[in-house]
Amino acid sequence: MSDTGSNNPTPDLSSKGETRSGFVGVIGAPNAGKSTLVNALVGQKVAIVSAKAQTTRARLMGIAIAGESQILLVDTPGIFAPRRRLDRAMVAAAWAGAEDADLVLLVIDAAAKLGQRAEMILEGIKDSTQPLMIVLNKVDIARREDLLTLAATLSDRLNPRHLFMVSATSGDGVGDLKQALAGAMPEAPWHFPDDQLSDATERMVAAELTREQIYNQLHAELPYSSVVATEKWEDRKDGSTVIHQQILVDRDSQKAIVLGKGGTRLKQIGQAAREAIGEHLGRKVHLFLHVKVNPRWDEDRGLYKDIGLEWAD
């Protein structure tokens, strides 16, 4: 993942009017591959990814550079019919990511049917005023005839500026997409230093990396019933960092699952997360995970701020 807060100055090409920079709202149904695609465009992992739907919870910006263009990719939570307050906040964050953008990039899972969720999004963006590009993702596992039908249907209904067929995992077609995005950015000075890859703070990234392990190592509904909060962060003189994170779950039975037999599951989650966080920070990390039951974490305003979400009424 990227490092943030760099002090490097932005190259001063702006005075000659040569640079381009703008925001791309990356939206789509859960699991369409938005975060994988943002990582592929940036060229580094800035967003966590999992095989489970509803992995991304808050907006996160990944920064890609192509020639003189700085492409600010706003990865958003998948759009679905919200139930809980957290769901509402996630869906609101997704639409806000599209509203504020210079261009909307709609990501469709070409290996799945255009379901109810995709329909909801098509309805939602049909009247948006920004230019639209469509990505049919997962071409590596989609059927060719489905791709052609899907492309025709979507072009007909949404009249996008471009439609791309890509595989975010293999990288197929991603270069062409990046070039098109670069060319579509408005002329503007770069908004961020040229070595910054994301807008997430180290704390947020660390919490996300632990959550990614929860998604990867635990099954069923558990990931959706949990949240990772940072309790304590200490950068030590010896160059290492001590991080205490709390994993909040809804129920006692879930706490038992996260802990595993004799605490083995939590240990594995902690080990994998510590390695990932250490690699991201580029220094030694001491990670302490605490599991706490709080059936009302979903209603805790402070937590929303912690994970980068607006409180949804």
Ligand X SMILES: Nc1nc2c(ncn2[C@@H]2O[C@H](COP(=O)(O)OP(=O)(O)OP(=O)(O)O)[C@@H](O)[C@H]2O)c(=O)[nH]1
Interacting residues with ligand X (CB under 6 A): 28, 30-36, 49-51, 53-56, 77-78, 137-138, 140-141, 167-169
* Structure tokens given for 3: 């490092």
User: For strand 132-137 and strand 103-109, is the pairing parallel, antiparallel, or unpaired?
Assistant: parallel
The smaller minimum CB distance to ligand X, of residues 32 and 133, is found at 32
Q: Do 165 and 136 meet the contact criterion of CB atoms below 8 Å apart?
A: yes
The smaller minimum CB distance to Mg ion, of residues 214 and 287, is found at 214
Residue linked to tokens 């000075």: 189
Closest approach of Cβ 120 to ligand X, in Å? 13
Taking CA atoms, 11 is separated from 71, 74, 178, 193, in Å, by 15, 23, 21, 8
Rg of the chain's alpha carbons, rounded to an integer? 20
Residue linked to tokens 């309805």: 123
The smaller minimum CB distance to ligand X, of residues 95 and 190, is found at 95
The smaller minimum CB distance to ligand X, of residues 73 and 266, is found at 73
Residue 33 binds which of ligand X, Mg ion, none (CB < 5-8 A, kind-dependent):
ligand X
Specify the long-range contacts of residues 231-240, CB closer than 8 Å, at least 24 apart: 231/290, 233/203, 239/283, 239/284, 240/283, 240/284, 240/285, 240/286
Overall residue count recorded for the chain in this entry = 313
Closest approach of Cβ 33 to Mg ion, in Å? 8
Closest approach of Cβ 215 to ligand X, in Å? 9
Residues 6+ apart with CB under 8 A from 269: 210, 213, 214, 217, 218, 258, 289
Closest approach of Cβ 223 to Mg ion, in Å? 13
The smaller minimum CB distance to ligand X, of residues 67 and 171, is found at 171
Taking the C-alpha atoms of residue 208 and residue 217, their distance in angstroms, rounded to an integer, is 14
Residue linked to tokens 């990511």: 97
Taking the C-alpha atoms of residue 235 and residue 162, their distance in angstroms, rounded to an integer, is 46
Mask of contacts with Mg ion, 119-158, x by CB under 5 A? ----------------------------------------
Taking the C-alpha atoms of residue 259 and residue 250, their distance in angstroms, rounded to an integer, is 14
Write out the binding residues for Mg ion, residues 50-89 only, by CB under 5 A: 55-56
Residue 280 binds which of ligand X, Mg ion, none (CB < 5-8 A, kind-dependent):
none
| Selected range binding Mg ion among 47-55, 57-65, 84-92, 180-188, rule: CB under 5 A | 47-55
Closest approach of Cβ 51 to Mg ion, in Å? 11
SS3 283: coil
| Selected range binding Mg ion among 4-12, 27-35, 167-175, 212-220, rule: CB under 5 A | 27-35
| Selected range binding Mg ion among 49-57, 84-92, 188-196, 262-270, rule: CB under 5 A | 49-57
The smaller minimum CB distance to ligand X, of residues 44 and 169, is found at 169
Residue 70 binds which of Mg ion, ligand X, none (CB < 5-8 A, kind-dependent):
none
Residue 223 binds which of ligand X, Mg ion, none (CB < 5-8 A, kind-dependent):
none
Q: Do 233 and 203 meet the contact criterion of CB atoms below 8 Å apart?
A: yes
Residue of this chain nearest to ligand X (CB atom): 78
Taking the C-alpha atoms of residue 79 and residue 90, their distance in angstroms, rounded to an integer, is 8
Residue 130 binds which of ligand X, Mg ion, none (CB < 5-8 A, kind-dependent):
none
Q: Which residues bind Mg ion (CB under 5 A)?
A: 34-35, 55-56
